[in-house]
Structures are given as structure tokens and as C-alpha cells.
Amino acid sequence: MRALDRKLFRDLWHLRGQVLAIAAVIMGGVATMVMSLSTYDSLTTTRDRFYSEYRFAEVFASLKRAPEPVAERLAALPGVERVESRVMAGVKLEVEGFSDPITGQLLSLPDVGEAQLNRLHLKRGRSVQPWSSDEVVLSDTFADAHGFQPGDRLAAIINGKRKQLTVVGVAVSPEYVYQIAPGSMFPDFKRYGVLWMGRNALAAAYDMEGAFNQVSLILARGAHEQDVIDRVDAVLGTYGGTGAYGRKNQFSNRFLSEELKQLQTMATVFPAIFLGVAAFLLNVVLSRLIALQRDQIAILKAFGYPYLAIGAHYVKLVLLMAVLGVAGGVALGAWFGQGLSNVYMETTFRFPYLDYRLNAGVILVALGISAFAAVSGTLFSVARAVRLPPAEGMRPEMPVAYRATLVERIGLQRWFSAPTRMILRHIERRPLKSLLTVLGIACACGLMMVGNYQKGAIDFMVDVQFKQSAREDLALAFIEPTSGRALYELAALPGIYFVEGFRDVPAILRFGHYEHRAALFGIQPEGQLHRSLDRTLQPVALPPGGVVLTDHLANKILHVKPGDMLTVEVLEGRRPVLQVPVLGITKQYLGVSAYMQQESLNALMREGSTMSGAYLAVEPGTEAELYARLHERPRVLGMVANKAAIQSFYATIGEFILFYNLVATLLAGAIGFGVVYNSARIALSERGRELASLRVLGFTRGEIAYILLGELALLTLAAIPVGFLVGIGLVGILIVAFQNELYRLPLLLTPENYAMGAAVVIVSALLSALLLWLRLGRLDLVAVLKTRE
């Protein structure tokens, strides 16, 4: 080994504490990046493979009812490659020993041959036998939530008639990677299930013999999706079609895409912060190392080592630290990535398999970015070392010039002891370095706050959604729009103490070239249960005659403001196209909605007082009995109980929160400790001689520790409020980056968030202080008498 390389490893070993601290920071950045990118790659690859292997359709359409030959007409349309018609039915399910309402989606499987599109992947059991009358395949989420095995039985109320079903298999489908009941906010595996049964049996039970009410299709090569959608709509219009849509509006796929987009955001924002901090640390440590080695560099140059060799020596040193960090980061990131992918697989997305993928490209990018950050961070110091003339390098450095600080110059000096003045002057002499240290520590604080932000934010969103806005205990959907008189019958049921009807109409909202598929919700203008909220989250009365949009829908999707005229293409009944004024904008964190007064909506639809469902307030304790009664009512299609929905949501999201908290704590801790410990170690190596001199002069260890740790404490304390600002800023970035149709995060930081941010900084500082205190005990007092700097 060449002598210079040997020196390299000795220096690394000598600096091991700092090397580890720096590597930890790089590791943090790389781990977040690898975790996010590998999870992103894995989920994308898995999705694409699953979609193509199981023939996920490209265009979907629902309709009221069409005779089977209509499907052949669709197949003959230009741009259509393959068509499959199905029968789809909303059902109520009964599971023994479970009294909460369960809704389900029942889909037909062809009795002859295999499904052409949206094929099932069987996890257990088998598919239904042709022409069987009672066999079903269950979605795995629902089966797992209730522990169903092939051979078990359950009952479904199809079209008002109870039917006993036998489970023969458990499957996942590309159509239901993300499963959520229509109209509900979160997945609830216990209370919503997807089932597949033979076409013949389902059609018989649902009065759909020789007919279909759902169709999926795949486009021919080169076909334009929108053209095909228009053609399909033209055909299905007379059969009660509710408008065909492509994959991007298919609910499961849309949610999956949103989630993947967020992963990508995470893969850019957070590693950038970590690597920035790492570059700063490397810069500081390297400048110091080079200052300490200036005589060695001078001697090497005097020996005739070329500048390039010496420069390369230090670049290698930095790169080794970076490689160490990257190696650790890739390992940790792959571990986190697998963990995160599994959390996704268990809680959110159902794929038959997971192609966990750590692309070499990701590793190379991590290495490239880290090396760039490290080298650019140190280039200046290295260049300075290389430029130093040998003779100058071998002379001792002049005493560093200090001056009285600002606080002293304005006349406060008499309040400070000599040690305190030393602290203040040392900070003020290198304002940039002090500032960067403060910023580095602040980043740790901010990251910790972001990591712990979600819990409070979700609590807040849930509170706003379910305590302020959708306050009903139970939302009931009727099988079809029903006269308002149905409300009186409901109100008479024991256990219900308040009823509020609603009307919802599927529609496409258009403004200019912007459009959105949604339901127009007709609710009560001054409703007690379901209310819309203004900017300050106060309930507002809905004005008559127009539509009120939630903020995200108005501002980000449709780009309308109050006073604009919205084109509403109703997808129900005679499918009128209407012009409706926008009357206001309301605040909503979950989902997007378009609200009207129910009466105004009825008027628009040219119908009498008509309801699609009702919101109920239920007396506590009467739920089970009430659910059973409602379940018996043939006109009730389904029920969503909010409390249960929230609980199941917390159960799913809990794992995510825990995972992110763990990752954030580890990474923020790494940064916090990395910055504080390095700053402290550098301060010690810069001032070790000074402090040892003071020890010789009779200062106690505590007194010199005050000088060293006092500076650290001051910078740490200054960093905490700055860290709060960084945290708020990062949360702001997160909110902007993550806002989507499904939810918008609120800018809300709880006292606990601030406390956690401050805690990670303080704990890092205390740990560093402890290590430093131990080092101060080993100061060589005799050496300072003899050696110059």
C-alpha cells in the first residue's frame, strides 16, 4: 500500500467518531431515498405486471341495463379490442357473529371459459364452478378480516332477497387493488367486501338474465381513449349509461397513482435535506482537518508530491466517508423499503405478489448524489490545502484574531465573565459557521416535527370531517331514488332520533376545459347532521339555486370562483346537461364534493321531493338492533357507520404512522447527533490547547466544560426556534406536495410536534455533551506546555 493511502486509513481511524457521525447523516439521506425509490419501483413494477398478467381493462362503464347483444355492438366499435360485459350488484352481507352493517360489491364471472378481462388471482381455493348457483370467490381483504376459508358460508341480500353463499376461493383482482366502499372515506376491510359469482346465478338473483349492467374493455393498438369513451357513451346512453371512464378515473387505480406520486415526492424532498446537511458537515470537518494537517501537507509538497496527488488524497478521504454512508444507507433503505412495501401490501394495496426491486440505478444515483454533495462540500478546503506554499504551511498559524462582540460593544460587557466572553466571541468570530451549525441542528428538529406531524394532522382531519361536517352516525343509501316520505318511516324506527335526507346525482362537472366526475350532493340547507364548513370551519347555510364546491375542487380541479357558471352533465335518468352557478366555496380536508340544497337539486332534476339516502343520528346502545331492522328493509342498499369507519381507518393507518415515526426519529436523531457531535468535536480540537492551558492555570473540568459546552448549548438553544420554523416550512412543502383529490393535509402542528422536535435536538446535544465531557477528562495538560498549536 502506498504511504499516502496508509495515511488515509489512519486519518479515517483517528477521526472515527466524526466519520461515523457524517456517515450517519449521509446514511439518513440515502436510506430515505432508497426506501422511497425502491418502494416506488417495486409497487410500480408489481402494478404493471399484475395489470398486464391479469388483463386489467382500460375503459369501464356502468349502465342501468342493456341486453347482451349491445355488448357485441360495443365490441364492433372502432378502437375497441376486446369487451367483457358483467353483472354488478350492490349487496348487503351477513356474517355470523358480526352485527355491524356490511356492504359488498358482487361481480359476475363468465360461466363459460375464463374471464377475458380483470382476471382474478386466486390465493386460496378455486374459482366458481360453471353454472353453480351459490358459489362465490371473496376478495382477500374481506376474507382475511373475517377469517373466511373455502367451504365457509355467508348470506347476501341481493335485490332484496336473501341468498346463502358458499365460499370456494379467495382472490385478488387488478380492479380492486385498493378497496373502498362507494361513498366512504377510508378502506374498511371488515365492513366492505368484493365478491364474484357465476354470471348465470347472479343474473337470476338480480333480474339481469340475458342482460348486463357493467362493461369493461381494452383498446385496440393506437386507439384514442377519449374517442372510444365518447363512442361507448353514445351506445350506452339509451341504456342508462352513467358515462364511461378510463383507468385514470378508475377508483383503485387512481388512488394507487396518487400514493405513488407521493412516494416520488418523498424520494426527492427528504434526501435533498439530508444530503445538504451532510455536505455541510463534510465541509466543516474537512476544513478543520486540513487546518490541522497544514504542516503535513507542506511537508508532502516539500517532498515533491504533486498538487493533484495531495488533492486526490483528501478527495479520497471524503469519498470513503461517503461510500461508508451510502453502503449503510442502501442497506438500511432496502430494509425500510421492504418494510414499507409490506405495510402497503398489508394495509392498503392488494397485489398477489410483491416484486421487491432495488435497482442498481437507485444505488448509483444515491452514490452519485452523495459523492457530489461530499466532494462539492469539501472542494474549497481541498483547493486551499493544495494552494498552500510549503514554507507557509510549516510555520505555525498566527493567533486567531478576535474582537469584542456586538453585545459587548453596546456596553453589556460588564455582565459577562471571561469564560462567557470567550463563548460569545467564538460564536461571533465565525458567524457563518455558527449559522450553519444552527441550521444543521434546526434541520434535525424540523425533520422530527415532519415525521410526527401526521398523527395530529389526521386526528384533526378526522375531527373536522366527522365531528364538524359529516356528523351522522349512519349514512343510508336507498336502492333507488325514493320519495321523501321514506324519511318518516325511518324516523319512526326505535333508536333513531334524527333523520336528514340527501339526494346524490352522479354527474360530470365542467368548466372550460376542466372537468371532474363526481356526485352532486343535495343536502339540507341548515342541516344538523351533514353540514358544509367555511374557511374557519364554521358551518354555513347553503344558498338556494346553485352549487357550493369544496376548495380543492373549485381551486385546483375546476378552477372556478363564485359567480362562474358550471356545466353539469347529469349521468342519471334523462341525463340533462345543465348550467348551474357556483355560489360559494367551502373547506373540506377529505375528498372533494359539490353541494346543493336538496330542493334545488330536485328542482334541477325536475322531480318532486326525492332522496337517494338518509343521514341518521342513532341513540347509543341501540345500534345492533337498528342495524338488523335496517338490514331487513329491501329499499336499503347499504349503510356506512362512521364510528366503525374511523376505528378501522385508525387501525390501518396506525401501522403507517408508526413506521414513519420510527423512520423519522432514526433519521432526525442521526442528523441531530451528526451535527451537534461534529460541531462539538471540532470546537474541542480547535480549542483543546486553550482549554488545557486553563486547566493548568487552575480551572476545574466543570469550568472549562462551561466554555466548550456553553457554546454548544447556546447554538442548540438558538437552533430550536429556527428548527420550529424549518419544521413549519417542511410541513408546508409536504402539504403542497401531497395535496390531492382524496385528501389535503392541514397546516397544523401540535404542541407534541414541537416538543418532539426540541427533544431530538436536546437529546442529541446531551449525548454529545456527555461524550465531550469524557474527552475533557483526558486532556493532556503536560503537552500544552511544550507544544505550539
Partner 1 sequence: MMDRMPTDQAQANAVFVAHGLTKIYRMGEVEVHALRGIDLTLNRGELVVLLGPSGSGKSTLLNILGGLDAPSGGEVRYLDHALTDASEAELTRFRREHVGFVFQFYNLIPSLTARENVAAVTEIAESPMRPEDALALVGLGNRLDHFPAQLSGGEQQRVAIARAVAKNPAVLLCDEPTGALDSATGVVVLEVLEKVNRELGTLTVLITHNAGIADMADRVIRLSDGRIADIHANAVKKAAHELSW
Residues that bind partner 1 (CB under 8 A): 398-404, 417-419, 421-422, 425-426, 429, 689-690, 693-701, 703, 781-782, 784-789
Rounded to whole angstroms, how far apart are CA atoms 426 and 252?
Answer: 59
Rounded to whole angstroms, how far apart are CA atoms 613 and 490?
Answer: 11
CB of 413 to partner 1, least distance (A): 9
Residue 757 has which C-alpha cell? 422536535
DSSP notation for 526-582: T-SSB-EE-TTS-EEPPPTTSEEEEHHIIIIII---TTPEEEEEE-STT--EEEEEE
Rounded to whole angstroms, how far apart are CA atoms 284 and 778?
Answer: 24
For residue 350, the SS3 value is coil
Rounded to whole angstroms, how far apart are CA atoms 483 and 602?
Answer: 11
Rounded to whole angstroms, how far apart are CA atoms 380 and 625?
Answer: 76
Rounded to whole angstroms, how far apart are CA atoms 165 and 634?
Answer: 19
CB of 288 to partner 1, least distance (A): 16
- Helix (H) or strand (E) run with residue 749 in it: none
> How many Cβ atoms are within 10 Å of 20's Cβ, its own excluded?
17
CA distances for 283 relative to 190, 293, 787, angstroms = 54, 15, 27
Rounded to whole angstroms, how far apart are CA atoms 379 and 56?
Answer: 52
CB of 380 to partner 1, least distance (A): 24
Given the complex with partner 1, which of 302 and 404 has the nearer CB atom?
404
Strand 565-570 vs strand 577-586: parallel, antiparallel, or unpaired? Answer: antiparallel
For residue 405, the SS3 value is coil
Given the complex with partner 1, which of 268 and 700 has the nearer CB atom?
700
Given the complex with partner 1, which of 126 and 701 has the nearer CB atom?
701
Q: How buried is 556 (Cβ within 10 angstroms: 0-12 exposed, 13-18 middle, 19+ buried)?
A: middle
Residue 398 has which C-alpha cell? 498566527
CB of 395 to partner 1, least distance (A): 13
CB of 689 to partner 1, least distance (A): 7
CB of 8 to partner 1, least distance (A): 25
Given the complex with partner 1, which of 234 and 783 has the nearer CB atom?
783
Q: How buried is 381 (Cβ within 10 angstroms: 0-12 exposed, 13-18 middle, 19+ buried)?
A: buried
CB of 404 to partner 1, least distance (A): 8
Q: Give me the residues paired with residue 125 across strands.
A: 169
Given the complex with partner 1, which of 148 and 706 has the nearer CB atom?
706
Given the complex with partner 1, which of 191 and 426 has the nearer CB atom?
426
**121 close to 111: Cβ distance less than 8 angstroms:** no
CB of 294 to partner 1, least distance (A): 17
Given the complex with partner 1, which of 647 and 787 has the nearer CB atom?
787
Q: Which residues contact 583 (CB under 8 A, 6 or more apart)?
A: 543, 545, 546, 547, 548, 562
**CA proximity to 277, closest of 477, 441, 519, 64:** 441
CB of 409 to partner 1, least distance (A): 12
Given the complex with partner 1, which of 154 and 707 has the nearer CB atom?
707
CA distances for 22 relative to 93, 386, 436, 676, angstroms = 57, 23, 15, 11
**505 close to 600: Cβ distance less than 8 angstroms:** no
Given the complex with partner 1, which of 20 and 714 has the nearer CB atom?
714
Given the complex with partner 1, which of 252 and 287 has the nearer CB atom?
287
Q: How many CA atoms lie within 13 A of 238 on its CB side?
A: 5
CB of 695 to partner 1, least distance (A): 7
Rounded to whole angstroms, how far apart are CA atoms 675 and 25?
Answer: 8
Given the complex with partner 1, which of 403 and 467 has the nearer CB atom?
403
CB of 698 to partner 1, least distance (A): 3
The conformation of residue 294, written as its DSSP 8-state character, comes to H
CB of 785 to partner 1, least distance (A): 5
Given the complex with partner 1, which of 161 and 430 has the nearer CB atom?
430
Given the complex with partner 1, which of 15 and 784 has the nearer CB atom?
784
CB of 399 to partner 1, least distance (A): 4
Residue 473 has which C-alpha cell? 352516525
> How many Cβ atoms are within 10 Å of 395's Cβ, its own excluded?
10
